[in-house]
Every structure is written in structure tokens, then in C-alpha cells.
């Protein structure tokens, strides 16, 4: 098992993230989850806000970055957006 620490930032609020269908509790932009090492996982996110607002998510196992969503944006004429990314720990 490996502890993955997530850091979430951006202008879109509220937002929600989960890994493998388990919610990641985010407090002050930070949260963590124990994940199986050497396995593939799926990060899912959902955000609400105005068009153009964004969300960035970085996940690290120790010093190693395992997933990086640089900027997921809410598209024009929308009030919400979602996405997912596969990653390996």
C-alpha cells in the first residue's frame, strides 16, 4: 500500500474527487488515500461554477508525482464539468 497525497486548487467550487469510487475527503485543498502499489487507479472529479473556471489536482506518493491534472476547465455555456484520469502508483 502507498499513501497518495492529493492537492486541489483552482477557482471552481464546489468540487468533488474520488479514487476507485471512494471519495477523497479534501480539507483546505488537501486530502489523502491509501492505494495499492503497482496497480492502476482511476481519479474522477466533478466541479461546479461558471464557464472558464478551473480545477487542478496533483497526487503524490512520497516525493513521486503519480497524477497531475494541470487545469480542467468548465466549458463555455456550462455550469459544471467532470473528468477522469487513470494513473499507477
List the domain boundaries for the chain: 2-88
In a structure prediction context, what are the per-residue pLDDT tens digits for the chain, which is 89 residues long?
A: 999 999 999 999 999 999 999 999 999 999 999 999 999 999 999 999 999 999 999 999 999 999 999 999 999 999 999 999 999 99
Q: Is the CB of residue 33 less than 8 Å from the CB of residue 39?
A: no
- Sign of CA pseudo-dihedral 63, 25, 83, 10: negative
Q: pLDDT value at position 73?
A: 96
Cell reading at 76: 463555455
Q: pLDDT value at position 35?
A: 98
Q: How far apart are CA 36 and CA 4, in angstroms?
A: 10
Residue that has been written with the C-alpha cell 487513470 in this structure: 86
pTM over 0.85: yes
Q: Is the CB of residue 19 less than 8 Å from the CB of residue 43?
A: yes
Amino acid at each position: 500500500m502507498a499513501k497518495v497525497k492529493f492537492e486541489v486548487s483552482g477557482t471552481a467550487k464546489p468540487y468533488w474527487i474520488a479514487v476507485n469510487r471512494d471519495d477523497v475527503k479534501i480539507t483546505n485543498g488537501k486530502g489523502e488515500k491509501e492505494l495499492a502499489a503497482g496497480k492502476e487507479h482511476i481519479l474522477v472529479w466533478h466541479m461546479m461554477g461558471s464557464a472558464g473556471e478551473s480545477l487542478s489536482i496533483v497526487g503524490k506518493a512520497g516525493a513521486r508525482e503519480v497524477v497531475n491534472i494541470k487545469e480542467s476547465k468548465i466549458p463555455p455555456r456550462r455550469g459544471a464539468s467532470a473528468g477522469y484520469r487513470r494513473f499507477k502508483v
